[in-house]
Amino acid sequence: MKKIIFTLFLVFAINTITAQVIQSRVLVVDQADMKKFVDGASKKTKLYNSKKGQANYLTFRVITGKYAQNFVRMQVADSIKEFDNIDTEGNNYWQNKVGSLHESIGNRIWSMSNEMSYFVENKERVNHRRIIYYNFNDSEAEDFWRFRERVKKAMVETKYGQNMNVLYCNSGCDGNLVQVRFHHKNFAGQSKDYGLSYKNLVEKYNELYGKDAYEQDSQKVDESLLPNGRMVRHQVLVPELSSPANMN
């Protein structure tokens, strides 16, 4: 019973110490309609999602997995209350231009945790994402979040060079679904980032928390996961379908 109460408290704390909320959906587009879809979505984004005060969107092309070559479109907000503001004009434009060219799947709402995420000061936006999706048991939530908290601390101590966002699903998901998004310039940049920087991170983690702590804590995370509770996917930001980095 105490474990359940702690888990509920932990999830509440993670959900309240947040930087942003994100509403995401998968856009499935027939390859024959791809150019027309991209052209229409780009025009809509430029007209209705490129200025201060307008809804802020990021759109990623999915590179791997079931929905490869389709898109994930994310509305990014500072508060969930912003999702009550319906952009009727922009939505109508979207439906007229591209509504018939895609199928929208899996609307989800995420909170991004400041406590678990890592941000490099004045870091230029890069487009490549390596994403690990986790789904873990309630009873092992403490082990899962302890590892994420410690990774963040080790990143701070080593001045890790790339951003890492941790998002916890608030609605639209089954189970405790988390995505950890690593930012890289490209695949070559990813390989570089997982070289010396990763080695230094693991060494610092073990220095902070004890010999072989990284391996031991990673094993506890593995044991916390549900069947098929870890998936790795790659996405790449599509700038013309996304709001400017400095819009807000």
Q: Which two tokens stand for residue 195?
A: 């070289």
| H or E element at residue 130 | strand 128-136
Residue 137 lies in a domain: yes
Domain assignment present for residue 142? The answer is yes
How far is C-alpha 129 from the geometric centre of its chain's CA atoms? 9
Per the domain annotation, does 59 fall within a domain?
yes
Nearest to 166 by CA among 55, 27, 22: 22
CATH number reported for the structural domain that contains residue 234 in this entry: 3.30.70.100
Angle at 7 between CA 6 and CA 10, to 5 degrees: 85
What Cα–Cα distance (Å) separates residue 96 from each residue in 23, 37, 74, 153, 222? Answer: 22, 11, 20, 47, 46
Task: Give the chain's count of helices (H) and strands (E).
Answer: 7, 8
56/102 Cα distance (integer angstroms) = 20
| Residue 91 placed within a domain | yes
Averaged pLDDT of the chain? 91
* Amino acid at the residue 20: Q
Task: Determine contact, residues 222/143, Cβ cutoff 8 Å.
Answer: no
| Residue 191 pLDDT | 87
CB 48 within 8 A of CB 90: yes
Segment 159-186, tens digit of pLDDT: 999 999 999 999 999 999 999 999 999 9
CA angle 12, 14, 18 (to 5 degrees): 115
Rounded Cα distance, 167 and 210, in Å: 27
Instruction: Give the range of the structural domain holding residue 47, as residue numbers without chain letter.
Output: 2-241
11 inside domain: yes
| The total number of structural domains that make up the chain | 1
The helix/strand/coil state of 61 is strand
What CA–CA distance (Å, rounded) separates 93 from 104? 16
The pLDDT tens digits of the residues spanning 30-87 come to 999 999 999 999 999 999 999 999 999 999 999 999 999 999 999 999 999 999 999 9
- Write out pLDDT tens, residues 207-220: 999 999 999 999 99
Is residue 65 packed enough to be buried (19+ CB in 10 Å), middle (13-18) or exposed (0-12)?
middle
**Residue 246 included in any domain:** no
Look at residue 117 in the predicted model and tell me its pLDDT. 96
**Does the global pTM surpass 0.85?**
yes
**AA identity, residue 91:** N
248: in domain: no
Q: Is residue 247 part of a domain?
A: no
Is the CB of residue 186 less than 8 Å from the CB of residue 128? yes
